[in-house]
Amino acid sequence: MKQKPYIIANWKMNLDRLGIERFFSNFSPDEEVFTKLKVVICPSFPLLEFARSQAKEKIAIGAQNFFWEAQGAFTGEVSARQLASMGIKYAILGHSDRRRIFNEDDELINKKIQLALQFKINPIICLGETFEEKEAGLTKKVIKEKVATCLRDVQPFDVKYIIISYEPIWAISTNPRNIDDVADTPEEAQVMHKFIRKIIAELYNDSVAASLPIIYGGSVNPDNAGGFAKMDDIDGVLVGGASKEGPSFGKIIISFLANK
């Protein structure tokens, strides 16, 4: 059985306290929304508690990352253990920003996934191909390898805590090639989501694959969210730039619900 769709906001290194106050003053979805989907908002580390104090009870607050060890002499880092002690239940892992700027690879992300599961944090695993890989016809090969490596040693009973976000790197708003308006089409994204589900079925079984939320992250906005919602294998969206303003994020939720 499929879970409720996820609408996840990744604020990246944006929004201070004033910005968060402004966001929530302009973002107040009807209670009915939460009966139909799950909303997760991921602010920067120092503002996790403040964001939670401003959010409705049914809005989950998640982290954007954490370190690959549970504790130790790692100045400036934040651990899954610390996040769990705060009641954080979601964390984005393997975002293209982390891969591109901080050279994180799938082996490292696998370590983080293991820690997330250990501390009862739902990992939101981001993976996708670069423009060069896409142009070379390597997309499916790259994605299959990433899924297999990221989920290595993850047991079938733990997969239900995982969310996969297909995030074609060339399609995100901060893509290194600086191309505007390059979001994947819903139909193209559906092909890849169905392919990822097939990989999960091969690694585990059809039941595990059917229940795993696979969401799309790549320049999602109020204008295209509904198109992604119509696709059978797209179980939500991970929203970057368009999630920073309450009205914009609210429109994405409304559009997704109206078309799912």
Concatenating the DSSP letter of every residue in the chain gives: -PPPPEEEEE-TT---HHHHHHHHHT----TTHHHH-EEEEE--GGGHHHHHHHS-TTSEE-BS---SSSSSS-TT---HHHHHHTT--EEEES-HHHHHHH---HHHHHHHHHHHHHTT-EEEEEE---HHHHHTT-HHHHHHHHHHHHTTT--GGGGGG-EEEE--GGGSTT-TT--SS-PPPHHHHHHHHHHHHHHHHHHS-HHHHHHS-EEE-SS--TTTHHHHHTSTT--EEEESGGGSSHHHHHHHHHHHHHH-
Q: Is 193 a catalytic residue?
A: no
Q: Is 95 a catalytic residue?
A: yes
Catalytic residue among 95, 104, 129, 193: 95
Say if residues 21 and 51 touch (Cβ distance below 8 Å). Answer: no
Catalytic residue among 132, 167, 187, 245: 167
Catalytic residues: 95, 167
